[in-house]
Amino acid sequence: MKITLKDLSYTYKGENGDSLAIANLSLNIKDGEMLGLLGPSGCGKTTLLNLISGLLSPDSGKICFGEDDVASLPPEKRGIGYVFQNHALYPHMSVYDNIKYPLLALKDKNLNKEEMDQRIKEIASLVQVDALLNKKPNELSGGEMQRVAIARALVKKPHILLLDEPLSSLDAYLRKQTAKEIRRIQKETKITTIFVTHDQREAMDISDEVAIMNGGALVQIGKPSEVMAKPASDFVRKFLLVDN
């Protein structure tokens, strides 16, 4: 699913004044592409994901999936899978039931028990947690919990996958391994994916394109090799630790 953002703006309203979080941002993401979204803390990355998902409504601008403007649609109507930083697994449920939970909300799909079971097992196999279906989250490693969270996001067969710093709680080795797994899953499913991370190298290694934000604005987008070779500004050069 192609994503087109046009002149998107969003302001947080607060008791101590308003804060512009997204400033007139336009961005095109190709169908089936993995976009790495980079930038310093507070630059607007998570706000942008929340606008795309429908958790926030823009002050102005368009959010198009394919040719359809979805800015007025509620989150459940947008066909999005969202993986949060903290996994958000239900501790009292098995892995199987955690993955199953989103399907229970798909009342209009009329999935019967056998169809649900088949879909859960297919997704579990895809993300390689099929041997963990009877376990509880407290029996899993950090990497396993993250794969379960991805399975839960994919089981609804969304058009778009949003990943908000999904690896931040993992150690360096697990980060690298799980990042490779995310890329493998994304390539197999061919789902349009936005991957938010603070780790420049991580984004460069697994993304088709990277977009760099600062102060709520998009400051550069391109293939990882192009962005590294030709930073658009001193900010980008310093952020990416480029010497040239």
Q: Is residue 15 part of a domain?
A: no
Q: Is residue 228 part of a domain?
A: no
pLDDT value of position 146: 87
Which CATH number do you get for residue 131? 3.40.50.300
Least confident of 3-12, 149-158, 196-205: 196-205
**Dihedral angle at the C-alpha atoms of 227, 229, 234, 240, nearest 10 degrees?**
60
Backbone φ and ψ of 222, nearest 5°: 170, 180
pLDDT value of position 242: 65
pLDDT value of position 243: 58
pLDDT value of position 108: 47
Q: What percent of the chain has pLDDT over 70?
A: 97
Domain region containing 88: 31-55+73-219
Average pLDDT value for the chain: 90
pLDDT in tens, 95-114: 999 999 988 876 546 678 88
State mean pLDDT over 68-78.
91
Provide the domain count of the chain.
1
Q: Is residue 44 part of a domain?
A: yes
Q: What percent of the chain has pLDDT over 90?
A: 64
pLDDT exceeds cutoff 70 at 139:
yes
Q: Is residue 20 part of a domain?
A: no
Q: Is residue 106 part of a domain?
A: yes
Q: Is residue 211 part of a domain?
A: yes
pTM for the complete prediction? 0.90
State mean pLDDT over 116-130.
91
Strands (E), 85-215: 160-164, 192-196, 209-214
Q: What whole-number distance in Å separates Cα of residue 11 and Cα of residue 41?
A: 17
State mean pLDDT over 10-17.
84
Q: Is residue 138 part of a domain?
A: yes
Q: Is residue 206 part of a domain?
A: yes
| Residue/partner pairs of 183-188 with CB below 8 Å, 24 or more apart | 183/34, 185/126, 185/127, 185/150, 185/154, 186/34, 186/161, 188/126
Which among 175, 189, 184 has a CA at the least distance from the CA of 143? 175
pLDDT value of position 181: 87
pLDDT value of position 106: 64
